[in-house]
Amino acid sequence: MASLFTRIIDGELPGRFVHSDEQAVAFLTIAPLRPGHTLVVPRLEVDHWLDLDPDLAAHLMVVAQRIGRAQQVAFSPVRVGLMIAGLEVPHTHLHVVPIGSEADLDFARADHGATPEALDAAAERLRDALTQGA
């Protein structure tokens, strides 16, 4: 059975994509820790990041850096955090989060009530920053 992320990648479920290439995609999470919280996901369904091919792992990091630079432009955070937790969906994904403090990386503080309008606005800001070459 395909993972939730594979279903998003395949268009079976909606996603707010900000990046797509042959190896990976990036889309906003529906329960952001902070506005602009983005998931970088390989197209290949690999459960644990330790099992990624080294070249694919490196590519995911390059994409995450690009997203992080755009988050700096779009949201002006103190830092951009990066996490790999992997417990909630059995498909490797990197959390790239604009943060003001380490407390912003606490999943207990995720906004499960983020409105579609707020998510769309954050995605648009991030896409604009990516288009500007951030």
**Distance (Å, rounded) from C-alpha 92 to C-alpha 90?**
7
Other Cβ atoms within 10 Å of 122 Cβ, number? 24
pLDDT tens digits along 47-66: 999 999 999 999 999 999 99
Share of the chain above pLDDT 90, in %: 95
pTM of the model: 0.96
CB 71 within 8 Å of CB 28: no
How many domains does the chain fold into? Answer: 1
Which residue range is the domain that position 27 belongs to?
4-131
The one-letter amino acid at 111: D
pLDDT tens digits along 62-119: 999 999 999 999 999 999 999 999 888 999 999 999 999 999 999 999 999 999 999 9
**Distance (Å, rounded) from C-alpha 65 to C-alpha 96?**
9
CATH number of the domain that residue 34 is part of? 3.30.428.10
| 64 alpha-carbon distance from chain centroid | 8
pLDDT tens digits along 4-15: 999 999 999 999
